[in-house]
Chain A
Amino acid sequence: MKRTTIALAAFALGTGMAFADTVAPGNVAFDGYEVAESLTGTPGDPEKGREIMTNKSEGNCISCHAAEAYADVPFHGEVGPMLDGAGDRWSEAELRGLVVNAKMAFEGTVMPAFYKTEGFNRLGDGFTGKAHPEDKPVEPLLNAQQVEDVVAYLKTLTE
C-alpha cells in the first residue's frame, strides 16, 4: 500500500521526488539473500531493463549470460547460466537480491555486486586503471532505478 502511494506521488511530482525514498547501497535490507523492498518505490521498466542488461557500457550481463530472450543482440557469454526461465526460478525479492549482491546467494561467485559501494580491494576509477580518487563518491555499477528495471525484465523471462 505504502509503495503505491509513493509511486503515485512520484508520478505526480516528477522523478525527482522518488529519489528521496531511494535506498542507499549501504542500507539495502537483506533477508538471507532476498531483498523484498523496492529500492526506489517506482516500478521497474522491463524495456529499459533489457537495454541495461545487453548494453556493454551498462549492466553488461550479456558478457556472462546468454538468453534466447535477447538472442537478437550478438556475443553472449557463458560464464553464468542461461537466463531464460529466471523469472520462474526466482521470486522478485530473490532476483533483486541477486542483482544487488549475488554473493549473498552464491558464496564466492564471480558475478559482480551491482549495487554496492564499499569493501573493494584496489578500487579503480572506472576502467582507467588508476586509483579511485578518495574524495569522489563511489557509484554503484547500476543505480537504484536501473536495478529495479533489470529485476522487472528478469521477471518477464518465463518459460
Chain B
Amino acid sequence: MKMKLLHGIAAAALALGAGTAMADEDAELVINGDLEIVTKTDAPAHLEGAVGEIMSGWRFRDSTTQVMQMDDFDNPGMIFVDDARDMWATAEGSEGKSCMDCHGEPEDMAGVKPVYPKWNEAAGEVRTLQMQMNDCRENRMGAETWKYDAGDAVAMEALLASVSRGMPVNVATDGPGQSTWEQGKELYYTRTGQLDLSCASCHELNYGNMIRADHLSQGQVNGFPTYRLKNTKLNGIHSRFKGCVRDTRAETFSAGSPEFVALEMYVASRGNGLSVEGPSVRN
C-alpha cells in the first residue's frame, strides 16, 4: 500500500480568514493583581512521550475572554461562588446541619479540590468532589442529594475550587485508585462515534490548531467549573465531556457515570502541576 506522508504539509497549513482574536501566547494569568496562576508547565511524568508541556485552556482563549478571569468583579462565575457561600452556611435536612457546622469556613477547605477525584477508603471507590458533597448531604445532613452537574452542585464545586485557586493540581495516579485511573486513560484514547475520534485526536494531537472557529486546547479540567459565554452559566466537567463525546456523533455517557468519574480522574491528572483556576471563564 502506498503511503504518502503529509504531516509536513499539515504543519505548514495556514488559518485563512479565521478572523478570531487569537490568544496572546505569552500572556500570564494573575487574578486580582496578586494571585499568580500557573497556566503552563512541564507535563507530569506519566505523560512522557505524549505531551511535553501542559497548558490551561485559558491560554487558548482570546484576550477579551482571558481578561474577564483576571478580576473577580469581571468573572461572572464568582456570582455563583457567592451563592454557594450562602448555601454553605445554611442548615438543611433532617439533622438541621450546614456544611459550615462541620467544616468551618469555606477557606478551611483549601487544598481539597486539587487532589480530587480521589480514592475514598471507607467507600472503597474513587470519588469526585460532587460525589463526596452528596455523601455528606445524604448521610450526614439527611438532605436530598444534588443532581449531578446541576446548578447547586456546580456552584458548590466552584466555591471549593475558588478557595484552592493557585494551588497545584495533584491527583494520584497510583495507589488504590490506580485501576480507575487506568480505565480513564483507556477511555481517553478510545475513538468513538461515526467521526471515530478520541479525546486525544483533538486535545493531544491537535491542540493549538483551529477546528473551524475553535482554537483547540489540551482539554484540561483545572479551570472547572467554567463559566461559558456561550451558555452564560457555570458548567461542570462531565457536562463538557458529554458535549465533546456527542460531537463525535457517539452515544455519550451520563454526568456522574462511572465512566466519566474515571475519565475525570485521568484528565485531571494530565493537569498535575497546573494551578486550580475555577471558576474560570471560557467561550
Measuring CB to CB, which residues of chain A are less than 8 angstroms from any residue of chain B?
Answer: 32-33, 56, 60, 62-68, 71, 73-82, 89, 104-107, 110, 112-113, 120-132, 138, 141
Is B206 in contact with chain A by the CB < 8 A criterion? yes
Q: Are A124 and B13 in contact (CB under 8 A)?
A: no
Main secondary structure of the interface of B (DSSP, over half): loop
Q: Is the CB of A131 within 8 A of B13?
A: no
**In the assembled complex, how far is the CB of residue B47 from the closest CB belonging to chain A, in whole angstroms?**
19
A78 contacts which chain B residues (CB < 8 A)?
10, 13-15, 209-210
Residues of A within 8 A of B213 (CB): 74-75
A129 touching B10 in the complex, CB below 8 Å, given contacts A77-B209, A124-B250, A124-B252: no
Partner of B9, one of A81, A126, A128, A132: A81
B15 touches A76 (CB 8 A): yes
Chain B interface residues (CB < 8 Å from chain A): 1-4, 6, 9-10, 12-19, 190-197, 201-202, 205-206, 209-213, 216, 242, 245-252
Query: Across the interface, do A129 and B14 meet the contact criterion of CB distance under 8 Å?
Result: no
A-B contact count (CB 8 A): 130
Cβ contacts A to B, 9 pairs, < 8 Å: A66-B14, A77-B209, A79-B216, A110-B205, A121-B191, A122-B192, A124-B249, A125-B251, A127-B249
Does the CB pair B193–A121 fall under 8 Å? Answer: yes
Q: What is the bound-complex CA distance between A75 and B213, given in angstroms?
A: 5
Whether B195 pairs with A112 at a CB distance below 8 angstroms is yes
Contact B242 A75 (CB under 8 A): no
Question: A62: which of B194, B205, B212 is its contact (CB, 8 Å)?
Answer: B212
Instruction: With A64-B211, A78-B10, A127-B247 given, name 18 new contacts (CB 8 A).
Output: A32-B2, A60-B212, A74-B18, A74-B213, A75-B212, A76-B212, A77-B15, A80-B13, A82-B9, A82-B14, A89-B4, A105-B4, A110-B197, A112-B195, A122-B250, A122-B251, A129-B252, A141-B194
Hey, which chain A residues are within 8 Å of B17, CB to CB? 71, 73-76
Do A66 and B10 touch across chains, with their CB atoms under 8 A apart?
no
B250 lies within 8 A of A121 (CB): yes
Q: Which A-chain residue is minimally distant from B215 (CB atoms)?
A: A78
Contacts of A112 in B (CB 8 A): 194-197
Q: Which 8 A-B pairs have the closest CB atoms?
A: A129-B246, A63-B212, A81-B9, A131-B251, A75-B213, A129-B252, A110-B201, A81-B10
Considering the complex, give the chain A residue whose CB is closest to the CB of B242: A129
Residue on B nearest A66 in the bound complex, by CB: B16
* Measured CA separation A63–B216 after assembly (Å): 12
| A120 with B212: CB separation less than 8 A | no
B18 to A75, Cβ gap below 8 A? Answer: yes
Known contacts A110-B206, A121-B191, A122-B192: A79-B211 contact under CB 8 Å: yes
